[in-house]
Amino acid sequence: MHSPKSSLTLVFLAVLSLSISSAFAQVNKHRWLQTHQWSGQGNMETEIFSLYGERSRVTFTPKGSGPLSIFLIDMQHNTQQLVADQTAGFATNGRVNINGSSNAAYLVIRSPGNSWTVELEQRMDPIDEWRFLQDQKKPIKVSKLGTWSGESGQSDISISVPGGHWRIRFEQFKAGALFVSVTNEVGTQLISANSSLGGEQSAWIHSAGNFVISVLAVQTPWVINAEQLILE
């Protein structure tokens, strides 16, 4: 026969076991979440992001005749994965699975003359979701490399970047057209973007060296800011 104290102990242990089982089940409950989406035209490199769980997937929707190539660059593990390689024929929609986590990765998108949308989804448990939400609250720390402005016409801006990760922010102030590209010292066009409705856009470049920012503005003034990423 159990004493009242023993009975209370058994009840406490049963409740504790149930609570632990419930918490464990919640932690192991996964769902797919869209963490990033990019839309653009031409060539682009995305910002640096994290892959929190062990499974992710990239969905791409090209609009045009192609070509389209997408690479996932994993900076933590120094690896590169080919996500899309449509060099011939009409570019089609697709989805590619990514295995493994990373605390620093980015996408390189190459689609000269064509527009596209790329989405990143990640399979997360509640702890992964919490980490993702906390990371979204952290401000991006940058130092200014330079600011340039102009009116309608064509301009070429030379810039030397000592670090490996930087971005340009460009804005037009009237309805018109603004074309911006970034070319490295061997002639590879890393960024090609355009806008016609005004507002600010941004693009990242993940390499150091000497570059030329080319601007073609039609009936609109513009401003460009270049900023170096400060890695912690």
Q: How confident is the model at residue 25 (pLDDT cuts 50, 70, 90)?
A: very low
pLDDT category of residue 231 using cuts at 50, 70 and 90:
confident
Lowest-confidence segment of 36-40, 65-69, 222-226 by average pLDDT:
65-69
Q: Which residue has the higher pLDDT, 4 or 87?
A: 87
- Please give the structure tokens belonging to residue 66: 């192609």
Distance CA 50, CA 32 (A): 15
CA distance between the termini of the chain: 63
Compute how many other C-beta atoms are within 10 angstroms of the C-beta atom of residue 43: 21
Identify the helix (H) or strand (E) that includes residue 41: strand 31-41
Confidence at 22, pLDDT banded by 50, 70, 90: very low
Which among 49, 25, 58 has a CA at the least distance from the CA of 125? 25
User: Any idea of the CA torsion for 24, 104, 110, 185, to the nearest 10 degrees?
Assistant: 180
Can you give the three-state secondary structure of 143-158, one letter per residue?
EEEEEEEECCEEEEEE
Q: Does position 225 have pLDDT exceeding 60, yes or no?
A: yes
**pLDDT band (50, 70, 90) for residue 226:** very high
Q: What is the model's pTM? A: 0.83
Averaged pLDDT, 43-63: 95
Q: Which two tokens stand for residue 128?
A: 């992964």
Burial of 211 from C-beta contacts in 10 A (0-12 / 13-18 / 19+): buried
Read off the pLDDT of residues 133-184 as tens digits, 9 standing for 90 and up: 999 999 999 999 999 999 999 999 999 999 889 999 999 998 889 999 999 9
Using pLDDT thresholds of 50, 70 and 90, give the confidence band for residue 44. Answer: very high
E strands present in 64-161: 68-74, 79-86, 94-99, 102-110, 115-124, 142-150, 153-161
pLDDT at 49: 97
What domains sit in the chain, N to C, each tagged with a CATH number?
31-136 (2.60.120.380), 142-229 (2.60.120.380)
pLDDT at 55 over 80: yes
Judged against a pLDDT cut of 50, whether residue 21 lies above it is answered with: no
Residues 85-92 have a mean pLDDT of 79
Predicted pLDDT at 119: 98
> Tens of pLDDT along 106-129?
999 999 878 899 999 999 999 999
pLDDT surpassing 90 at residue 209: yes
Mean pLDDT of the chain: 88
